[in-house]
Amino acid sequence: CRRCPVLDECATHALAAREPYGVWGGMSEEDRESIYRRKQALARERLSADAAAPASLSVLAS
């Protein structure tokens, strides 16, 4: 994969389509699963931070 001219496109497709099997874009199934888990954890953290954030001053002034 290292020298493949479509490495980035292949990796992008594999992640977007959640390809379950094989090596895609130089990433194994385990590599992709790790990326999916990190993305999910970051999304959960953002949701938690948004929920815990205080209301904006403009909302409080209303």
Q: What per-residue confidence (pLDDT) applies to 57?
A: 54
Each domain of the chain, given as residue ranges in start order, spans: 7-51
Q: What is the CA radius of gyration of the chain?
A: 19
State mean pLDDT over 9-20.
97
* Helices 29-52 & 7-17 angle (0-180, nearest 10): 60
Model confidence band, residue 48 (pLDDT cutoffs 50, 70, 90): confident
The C-alpha angle 41, 10, 2, rounded to 5 degrees, equals 100
Residue 53 φ then ψ, to 5°? -70, 140
pLDDT grade for 56, boundaries at 50, 70 and 90: low
**Predicted TM-score of the model (pTM):** 0.70
Q: Stretch 35-62: mean pLDDT, rounded? A: 78
